[in-house]
Structure 1
């Protein structure tokens, strides 16, 4: 396996920090974090969270500036998260639970931007 470049390692570390921050922020909003960085053959989900009977499969994107957040997520990436969520639903959701795909966008100096129900597929 090829070694990762310093830029890749820096991006990976920033992504992990962003996921920790997003998890902390969701907990402050009353969510319980069920899992982190769950990989499936269909893709990866950064956070799985529960609030009441709602299960959210959350994609977290961290950027260097607020201006970059507008282009941080695209339909292709959301489709992969949604596909992974479909694989994971039986593991985390029970009868009567609602499911959705959310996105949390993070940049220094800004409040986290939580896009609820980002994937409608």
Structure 2
């Protein structure tokens, strides 16, 4: 088996670090991290977090600069996260819970930008 390209390894490392930072950020804001890197047939969910009766399925995007973050997420990616969340929601949500799709954006020298409830079923 061929070793991953150095660029891919670097991106993977940056992604894992971004997810760790976002997990800490969410904890500081009162969220509990229920799970990380949940793989489903529809795609991967980076973080699943709970605060009270709200369960957030969180997509994390890290880029080298703030300007690139505006292009990091689009309808297609959000739809993938929403499908993945729907496929595992029964494992994380109790009766009466609400759920939503959030995005967290990271760039060097900036605090994480948390965009709440970004998917409305487009």
TM norm structure 1: 0.98
Q: List, as ranges, runs of 4+ consecutive aligned residues in structure 1 with deviation greater than 2 Å.
A: none
Number of aligned positions between the proteins = 121
Instruction: Give the equivalent residue in structure 1 for 2:43.
Output: 43
- Work out the CA distance in 1 between the residues paired with 2:58 and 2:98: 14
Instruction: Give the equivalent residue in structure 1 for 2:117.
Output: 117
Are 1:87 and 2:118 matched, yes or no?
A: no
Are 1:17 and 2:7 matched, yes or no?
A: no
Are 1:96 and 2:96 matched, yes or no?
A: yes
1:2 Cα deviation from its structure 2 partner: 4.0
- Work out the CA distance in 2 between the residues paired with 1:98 and 1:59: 17
Instruction: Give the equivalent residue in structure 2 for 1:33.
Output: 33
Gapped runs of 5+ residues in structure 1? none
- The alignment's C-alpha RMSD in Å is 0.8
Which secondary structure state, in structure 2, belongs to the residue aligned with residue 94 of structure 1? Answer: coil
- Work out the CA distance in 1 between the residues paired with 2:19 and 2:88: 19
- Work out the CA distance in 2 between the residues paired with 1:73 and 1:4: 24
1:111 Cα deviation from its structure 2 partner: 1.4
1:3 Cα deviation from its structure 2 partner: 2.6
Instruction: Give the equivalent residue in structure 1 for 2:53.
Output: 53
